[in-house]
Amino acid sequence: MNESIDPDAKLATRFEREHTHVPAEPFVAATLREIHGMQRRANRLRIALRVAALLAVICASPWLTAGIARLNAAVEFSLNWTSGQPVIWLCAAAGVFALLGVRFLRGR
């Protein structure tokens, strides 16, 4: 029988056999140095941005605390407003109208 060999496997074995090492060329060495330098700069920039973000949050914490207090007051006001009897009837009427609207649109 004729056994067929996977062309991808043949290509992989040839690539491994022919390219076991990169020849020592000045261009390759300079390029690798440049790549490593760019990676180091990118890592330093990433760390600097994280530190800057942390310092910004620390500096803005008084305003963030005041904003949270205002947000809590607004939420408490809205919850108190919606707990009244007229609002309950208004929400119930809106729900009924929404249900009738859905049934009307489905019936078309």
Q: Is residue 63 part of a domain?
A: yes
Q: Is residue 34 part of a domain?
A: yes
Q: Is residue 21 part of a domain?
A: yes
Q: Is residue 88 part of a domain?
A: no
Dihedral pair phi/psi, residue 83, rounded to 5°: -90, 0
Q: Is residue 89 part of a domain?
A: no
What's the confidence (pLDDT) of residue 1?
A: 45
Q: Which domain holds residue 37?
A: 8-82
pLDDT tens readout for residues 35-75: 999 999 999 999 999 999 999 999 999 999 999 999 999 88
Q: Is residue 103 part of a domain?
A: no
How far is the C-alpha of 48 from the C-alpha of 53, rounded, in Å?
A: 9
What's the confidence (pLDDT) of residue 22?
A: 61
How many domains, the chain?
1
- Tokens (6 digits) for 69: 């207090």
Cβ 81 vs Cβ 87: under 8 Å: yes
Contacts of 87 (CB under 8 A, 6+ apart): 81
Average pLDDT over residues 78-90: 74
pTM passes above 0.75: no
Q: Is residue 15 part of a domain?
A: yes
pLDDT tens readout for residues 14-39: 777 765 566 678 888 888 899 999 99
Q: Is residue 40 part of a domain?
A: yes
